[in-house]
Structure 1
Amino acid sequence: MAFSGCEKDDICVDETTPQLVIEFYDISNPAVLKNVVNLKVTGEGMTEALNTFNGVSKISLPLKTNEDVTKYHLLLNSNSSTASNEDVLEFNYTRQNVYVSRACGYKTVFELNTANGFDLTDATITDGLWIQDTNLQTNSIITEDEVHLKIYF
């Protein structure tokens, strides 16, 4: 009843700016999903964690809509002082604003650079990478209905 005065396009039901979808797999059995344990994700320059993921095999991370680079620190086993390990993912992309509708306005879609769509580095060289392999599924980040990057550990 509250929406009876609204026109169809006064309510945004379409997808807005998509996030990057990452799925985690078992390195010893690459067809099997693997849950992360206390994965603390912090954006470059942020003082607080974006989120801490626990017991999930899929996460979504936002890309910056006002820059062509987004860098995340991924700290696995973040609650352990001896078993924690931090890797860094830096995504390089171009942005395009796409009109969605009158109610939704514009959304930003991303195209990861072909040559260097992302870089994986170790935050602390002595502990080694916990991310043992990656598989980029698509360079185009247009929707959240698909996995964009697979990580094996």
Structure 2
Amino acid sequence: MKRTSVLLLLLIGLVYTCERDDICPESTATTPRLIIEFNDIANFEDSKNVRQLTVIGIDDEGNNVNTLISRTTTNELALPLRIVTEGENTTSRFKLIRDADFDSDNNPNTTSNTDIITITYIPEFVYVNRACGFKSIFNSIGVEIESDDNQWILGRTINIENIENELNAHITLFH
């Protein structure tokens, strides 16, 4: 009986030592992703799907790092940005492959079209609370499209210069 009482008291003690603010709720805003929308170059206001879009993150040397989106027809993307050091100008680069039909070795075939975009920004760390810690926001957003002979992204607009949430598109790309 004494042993059961001790175990019961120990269990009750463990339950009450866990505080509510020790767990970060899913509803708490954390580091936002970059939201890109695609619009029609002929009519800037009209949304336009990109067929069979594949997005690949690339490093500073141009090597593929990871596939973020694979063969999806969409008019909007949510991409993660790299965080290197707070307050320093940072870049994230992505290959956007339109009509990403692949051969048996998973290489883009001749009908696909690849454009590379470079996103520049200055990360800032913001304290959220004890349970969630810090999140990053991204200031002074810039976007460059590497030009080539077969470019499919024909224009861009920065809608929101500082990324603090994922409520609206930060960048619009026209094709």
The normalised TM-score by structure 1 is 0.84
Q: Does 1:59 align with 2:77?
A: yes
Which amino acid is 2:97 matched to? L
Query: How do residues 66-81 of structure 1 correspond to structure 2 at under 5 angstroms?
Result: 66=84, 68-79=90-101, 81=109
Identical aligned residues as a percent = 29
Which amino acid is 1:112 matched to? S
User: Compared with structure 1, are the counterparts of its residues 47 and 102 closer, same or farther at alpha carbon in structure 2 (3 Å cutoff)?
Assistant: closer
Q: Does 1:36 align with 2:50?
A: yes
Stretches of 4+ moved more than 4 A in 1? 3-6
Number of aligned residue pairs: give it: 145
Note the alpha carbon deviations across 1:56-85, whole angstroms, 9 max, x for none: 211100100125111111111110623211
Note the alpha carbon deviations across 1:74-117, whole angstroms, 9 max, x for none: 1111106232111111111111100011111100111135xxx1
Q: For the pair shown, which has the larger CA radius of gyration, 1 or 2?
A: 2
Matches of 1:14 and 1:100, distance apart in 2: 8
Give the alignment's Cα RMSD to 1 decimal.
Answer: 2.1
Q: Given that residues 71 and 101 in structure 2 are in contact (C-alpha distance below 8 angstroms), is that contact kept between their aligned partners in structure 1? A: no
Which amino acid is 2:149 matched to? T
Q: Given that residues 53 and 74 in structure 2 are in contact (C-alpha distance below 8 angstroms), is that contact kept between their aligned partners in structure 1? A: no
Worse overlay, 3-12 or 88-97: 3-12
Q: Which runs of 5+ in 2 are unaligned?
A: 1-14, 103-108
Which amino acid is 1:141 matched to? I
Matches of 1:37 and 1:130, distance apart in 2: 12
The structure showing larger relative contact order (alpha-carbon pairs under 8 Å, at least 6 residues apart) is 1
Structure 1 or 2: larger helix share? Answer: 2
**Equivalent residue for 1:145?**
167
**Equivalent residue for 2:145?**
120
